[in-house]
Amino acid sequence: MSAPISVLFVCLGNICRSPTAEATFVAEVARRRLEHRFRIDSCGTGDWHVGEAAHPETRRAAERHGVLITHRARTLVTADFDRFDWLLAMDRKNERNILRLSRGPEDAKKVHLFRRWDPVEDPEHPEVPDPYFTGEFDRVFELCARTSRALCDALLDG
């Protein structure tokens, strides 16, 4: 049996976007009964919310779609480059923050924008909007769910 595919979703505070992406990806993997094929987590590049549950509106948006978010916020650490095959940033600022922590080309090649896999990705807007500031919790959930389905397909094919 091969090693699981390891995916880390990364945003700023790890209370809105990355826990939503993590939860929608976990739900998609579970729907396919492929939990044994993946290791999945999320984190933030900032440390303001370490140990906190996801934002209440983030959790409510997920619950409206039958998805439970139980993740507690944590911060990205250098060891995550050893633990994960894919470090998926929710926006360009976090992508830059992740790359600053990378130790070289081997780490950097693992870093991508999450919406790279969005089947309706808009090249003008390749980022997941931050609902902490926009209030678009349901939109972010739907965007993450759609992208998670496509990401799962791509990782299983690749």
Q: Give strand pairing partners of 6.
A: 39
Per the annotation, the verdict on 91 as an active-site residue is no
User: Per the residue annotation, which of 80, 91, 118, 130 is the catalytic one?
Assistant: 130
Catalytic residue among 11, 16, 144, 152: 11
How many CA atoms lie less than 13 Å away from 119 in the CB half-sphere? 10
Whose structure tokens read 């995916």?
Answer: 7
Which entry of 16, 17, 43, 115 is annotated as an active-site residue?
Answer: 17
Residue 17 bears catalytic tag: yes
DSSP 45: S
**CA 71-51-48 angle, 5° bins:** 115
Q: Could you tell me which of 157, 151, 142 has the C-alpha nearest to residue 117?
A: 151
SS3 125: strand
Q: Which DSSP category does 4 fall into?
A: P
Q: Report the catalytic residues.
A: 11, 17, 130
